Amino acid sequence: MTAFELIRAFAHDATVGIVVTDPMIEPPGPTILYANIAFGWLVGRELDDIVGHSPRFMQGRETRRETLDTFHRALAAGERFHGYLANYRADGTKYRAEIDCRPLRAADGRIENFVAFEREVLRRIGRPTISAAGRYEPISESKDPLTEALRALAVFEHV
Ligand SMILES: Cc1cc2nc3c(=O)[nH]c(=O)nc-3n(C[C@H](O)[C@H](O)[C@H](O)COP(=O)(O)O)c2cc1C
């Protein structure tokens, strides 16, 4: 079983958005191969309108190019990207996404896919912080077993 197949098997009902792409990072890639139901809710689209497209469809006027360049460099280096991006739903509403994206490697080290865990966060009010992680908080904190497991795996944590 590949890592992608494993994710597909457990991600379906997860409350966190999960999206898997192919490893082609230059346009028109990466191409979304799988998205779970929670990802469809997060980005305000039917899964049929998500699979087959590049994650760039979520970008808009206030999506920071600098953060996207950091994202691109991490993908090209086969490293994890953890960051915050302004994204847009199909109806044009903007939301802030926390994204934890990692490469999925085959046994020989080749990157087969990328997987991202994504959730909506809000800016904390009145609390000055030094790091981006302290500046945002998730809109809802789920208590389901997968969320607990992701926490144990340090998904969304600074590692
Ligand atoms: C698994 C995965 C999920 C991604 N999710 C998002 C996303 O939610 N929003 C976004 O703006 N970009 C997302 N991206 C990043 C874009 O696909 C693209 O890599 C980014 O715009 C930087 O590359 P570019 O400089 O070629 O545009 C994701 C990439 C991957 C591999």
- DSSP 8-state assignment for residue 124: P
Look at ligand 1, atom 11, and give the residue with the nearest C-alpha. 59
* This prediction's pTM: 0.93
Q: What are phi and psi of 83, to 5 degrees?
A: -165, -175
- Note the pLDDT of residue 132: 73
The Cα–Cα gap between 11 and 33 comes to: 13
- The fraction of the chain above a pLDDT of 70, given in percent, is 97
Architecture of the domain whose range is 3-152: 2-Layer Sandwich (3.30)
- Cβ atoms of 123 and 96 within 8 Å: the answer is yes
- Note the pLDDT of residue 67: 98
Which of 41, 99, 100 for a ligand 1 pocket mutation test, highest count of atoms within 8 Å of Cβ? 99
- DSSP 8-state assignment for residue 109: S
